[in-house]
Amino acid sequence: MPYRHIFGPVPSRRLGISLGVDVIPYKYCPLNCVYCEVQRTNHLTVRRQKFFPPEEIISEVREVLSTNPKLDYVTFSGAGEPTLYSRIGDIILRIKEEFPQYKLALLTNGVLLKHPTVRKEILPLDLILPSLDACHQDTFEKINRPHPSVKVSDLISGLIDLRKEYSGFIWLEVFIIAGLNDSEEELECLSKALNRIQPDKVQLNSLDRPGAEFWVKPAGSRVLREVQRFLSERVNMPVEIIARIPSDKDELIIPPEIEQKFATLLNDHPSTPEEISKASGLHINEVSHYLRQLHLEHKISIKQGQKGPLFVWKKS
- Per CB under 6 A, the list member of 36, 122, 176, 223 interacting with ligand SF4 is 36
Stretch 134-163: interaction string toward ligand SF4, x if CB under 6 A: ------------------------------
Torsion-angle region of 212 (φ positive above 0: left; ψ -120 to 50: alpha; else: beta) = alpha
Q: Tell me how far, at minimum, the Cβ of 149 lies from ligand SF4, in Å.
A: 15
81 touches ligand SF4 by CB under 6 A: yes
- Is 120 in contact with 38 (CB distance < 8 Å)? no
98-117 residues near ligand SF4, rule: CB under 6 A:
109
Q: Tell me how far, at minimum, the Cβ of 138 lies from ligand SF4, in Å.
A: 18
Using the contact rule CB under 6 A, the part of the chain among 29-37, 62-70, 82-90, 302-310 near ligand SF4 is 29-37
| Cβ distance to ligand SF4 smaller for residue 58 or 159 | 159
| Cβ distance to ligand SF4 smaller for residue 42 or 301 | 42
Q: Tell me how far, at minimum, the Cβ of 39 lies from ligand SF4, in Å.
A: 8
Q: How far apart are CA 16 and CA 129, in angstroms?
A: 14
Using the contact rule CB under 6 A, the part of the chain among 28-36, 53-61, 217-225, 265-273 near ligand SF4 is 28-36
23 touches ligand SF4 by CB under 6 A: no
- Per CB under 6 A, the list member of 8, 9, 80, 218 interacting with ligand SF4 is 80
| Cβ distance to ligand SF4 smaller for residue 307 or 314 | 307
277 touches ligand SF4 by CB under 6 A: no
Residues 121, 13, 2, 4, CA torsion sign: positive
Using the contact rule CB under 6 A, the part of the chain among 26-34, 160-168, 216-224, 299-307 near ligand SF4 is 26-34
Count of residues engaged in binding ligand SF4, rule: CB under 6 A: 10
| Cβ distance to ligand SF4 smaller for residue 32 or 293 | 32
Residues in contact with ligand SF4 by the rule CB under 6 A: 29, 31-33, 36, 38, 41, 80-81, 109
